[in-house]
Every structure is written in structure tokens, then in C-alpha cells.
Amino acid sequence: MKYKMLILVCVLILACMPASVQAHDENIVEMTRMLDEIISTSDEIHDQSAYIADDEEPTVGLDWRLMGKAEIVHGVSHEIEGLAEIMQARLNEGMATGDFDEEEITRRMTMLYGVTHAISGLIDDIENETPESHRAYADTLSEEYTRLVALVEELNEMAVVAGFEPRNNLDAGLMGKAEVVHVTSHDIARFANLAQIRLNEGMATGDFDEEEITHRITMMNGVVYAISGLVNDIDRETPESHRNYADELKDEYDNLQGLIADLDQLTIEQDSELMVAILGQIRATADEIHDISDFIAGDEDSTDGADAPITGTDEGTAGGETQAAPGFGMLLAVFGLISMAYFARKN
């Protein structure tokens, strides 16, 4: 009788195990397919936002604040695509080896969810503020963003079901806002650097490319203005565990706004040397904002002295645990029970 019971247990486990493993595998395959759609959608957002950010096709002299908002969305589209590609690669590796890098996949999913939702206010502003000349781009951008949000929401639900449960201490939305600020700090430094280069060339030759210099400074002013709401949200929403980072970020952002106000008082030909100096200060401040926002975006505990956080699309090692494909432990248990039944019968 005891042999029959052992055999019955083995049969029941074997009956359940394949369905569990198959369902998990199908879930992962579906997740990778959805990531393809997310990558495709982010490409559309990238292209549509560029027309508004660059005031192109046609060029009508769009408001610099609108262009700055579109530039941020343009930059974040690269981030979304990169996060999706890394997550997809890790899932494919897991399916091939049976070992899933749970921490890495979960962190990328959290960041993808966070940055997608963080730009919702910018998308709404672009939709409301874009004139008729670029209305078609704004409408398409809004439609593609709505599609992106739906895809990311569904992907996040599937990730949780598959076992990639978020363990972050901070809210994903807050982390996403900090990541957008982090990404934008690169643009601020880049625009300041390009303006510096053109000013130095003008001082060396006596011929200033005023249109190019003005354009770069205007774009810099636009993106700085556009992240003001995100910086205020971070200041308001950050808990005590990360309060010092939020305070430092707000201070550096206020300093950045002051430098830009000083820069706007100067003229290219008369104050070129001073403009170069202020642009250097702006680049240094952007670097500070880059580093501080990274700690919030990466959910870095300010009291544990841990290594720098993993955020965005940097390919650093996650150093986390791996998750074996569900069903492997069950398979071992089945073989153990079968062996016990065999030897018990033999004896």
C-alpha cells in the first residue's frame, strides 16, 4: 500500500510540473515579445519628439520651453529603448541557461516603469502647447506614449507573475523622476560644452557663429526649465532615508538656474570670455546633479556606504542572486521520490 501511495505522489507531481514550467516559459517568451513592441514604440517617440525639439519640418520658431520638454522626451526615449534591450537580453540568457538574473531583470523593469511614467506630465504639456504647425507630431507622440504606458503596465504585471518581484525601498515613480533628471544632466552639460567650443572658436578667429551659440544656449535653457517640475516632485516626495540627496539636488538645481540667469544677461561678442567661464560652471553643476540624482534613481541607501547604484542603461554587473527556472527543484524531488519507491520495493 505504501508503494502505491509513493507512486501516486510521483504521478501527481509529474502531472503538475510540466504545466508549471511550460507556463513560466511561455510567460517569458511573451515578455520578450512585448519588449520588442516597447523598443519599436520608443523609436516612434524618439522620432516624433525630435521634430518638435529641433523645430523642424517646418521651422516656425517654436517656444524654447516647448522645445526643451520635447528634448527631454527625446532623450528619455533612448533610455527606454536601452532598458528594454538589456532586460530582453537577460531574459533570453535566462531561457538559454535556466538561470535568470533576478536582481538585474527586476531593477531594469523598475526603472523602465518609473521613467515611462515620469514623463507623463511632459507629454501632456507638449500635447497642450504645440501649435498647429507641429500638431501632427504632438498627436502621434501622445498616441505612441499611451501605447507605451499600456505595454509597460502589462509587462510589469507579467514580470511579477514570473517571479521578478520589485524589492526597492523607494517608490518606482520617484526613482523614475530622478532617472529622467539624471539623463537630462548629460544634455545640459553637452549643450554647455558645444556653446563653449563655438565661443572659443569665435575668440580665436574673431568670427562668432552667433546662431549656433544662441541655439545651444537656448536648448540648454529649455531642458533646465523643463525639469523644474521633476526636481520639485523629487524634493517633495523623497523620504527621510534619501532626504540629504534631495536637498543637495534642489540646491544644485537652484544654483544652475542662477548661473543661467547670469548667462542670459551677457552678449556674445562683448562678454565671450565671461560666458565661457559661466558655461564651465554650468557643466560642473550639471555633473553634480548627475551624481546626486543617481543615488535616488538607484535607490541607494545614504547610510550604508554601499557601492554606486545601478541605474539606467549602464551595463555594470548587478552582483545579485540568480533565479533558477521554476520546476527544477520539483524535478529533483520527483526523482528522489521515484528512487525511494524503487529501493523500498527492491528491499
**pLDDT tens readout for residues 322-337:** 333 344 444 444 445 4
| CA distances from residue 254 to 195, 215, 265 in whole angstroms, order as listed | 21, 23, 17
Residue 329 has a pLDDT of: 44
Q: Which amino acid is at 308?
A: A
Q: Which grid cell is 308?
A: 554606486
Q: What is the pLDDT of residues 96-122, one digit of tens each?
A: 999 999 999 999 999 999 999 999 999
Residue 300 has a pLDDT of: 82
| Percent of the chain with pLDDT strictly greater than 90 | 76
Residue 166 has a pLDDT of: 87
Topology of domain 2-167+324-328 in CATH is Butyryl-CoA Dehydrogenase, subunit A; domain 3 (1.20.140)
Instruction: Quote the CA–CA distance of 130 and 138 in Å, as a whole number.
Output: 7
Instruction: Quote the CA–CA distance of 188 and 182 in Å, as a whole number.
Output: 10
Q: pLDDT tier at 160 (50, 70, 90 boundaries)?
A: very high
Listed in order, the ranges of the chain carrying CATH 1.20.120 are 180-297
Is 310 a residue whose pLDDT tops 50?
no
Q: What is the pLDDT of residues 251-289, one digit of tens each?
A: 999 999 999 999 999 999 999 999 999 999 999 999 999
Instruction: Quote the CA–CA distance of 101 and 342 in Å, as a whole number.
Output: 37
Tell me the average pLDDT across 70-99: 96
Is 12 a residue whose pLDDT tops 60?
no
Residue 83 has a pLDDT of: 97
Instruction: Quote the CA–CA distance of 263 and 251 in Å, as a whole number.
Output: 19
Look over the chain and give the mean of its residue pLDDT values, rounded to a whole number: 86
Q: What is the pLDDT of residues 193-244, one digit of tens each?
A: 999 999 999 999 999 999 999 999 999 999 999 999 999 999 999 999 999 9
- Check: CB of residue 281 under 8 Å from CB of residue 259: yes
Q: pLDDT tier at 312 (50, 70, 90 boundaries)?
A: low
Q: pLDDT tier at 321 (50, 70, 90 boundaries)?
A: very low
- Between residues 218 and 23, the one the model is more confident about: 218
Tell me the average pLDDT across 28-56: 97
How would you label 174-191 residue by residue, b for 16+ Cβ within 10 Å and e otherwise? bbbbbbbbbbbbebbbbb
Is 307 a residue whose pLDDT tops 50?
no
Between 37-46, 173-182, 193-202, 293-302, the lowest mean confidence (pLDDT) is in: 293-302
Residue 10 has a pLDDT of: 52
Is the backbone peptide bond immediately before 239 cis, with ω within 30 degrees of 0? no
| Percent of the chain with pLDDT strictly greater than 70 | 80
- Check: CB of residue 15 under 8 Å from CB of residue 327: no
Residue 168 has a pLDDT of: 87
- Check: CB of residue 27 under 8 Å from CB of residue 158: yes
Listed in order, the ranges of the chain carrying CATH 1.20.140 are 2-167+324-328
* Crossing angle between the packed helical segments 102-118 and 135-161, to the nearest 10 degrees: 150
Q: Which amino acid is at 74?
A: H
Q: Which grid cell is 94?
A: 535566462
| CA distances from residue 168 to 80, 115, 216, 309 in whole angstroms, order as listed | 19, 15, 37, 12
SS3 311: coil
Strand partners, 99: 324
Q: pLDDT tier at 167 (50, 70, 90 boundaries)?
A: confident
| CB within 8 Å of 137: residues ≥ 6 apart | 48, 49, 51, 52, 130
Tell me the average pLDDT across 178-199: 98
- Check: CB of residue 228 under 8 Å from CB of residue 290: no
| CB within 8 Å of 327: residues ≥ 6 apart | 17, 18, 20, 21, 24
CATH 1.20.120 corresponds to the domain 180-297: yes
Tell me the average pLDDT across 152-161: 95
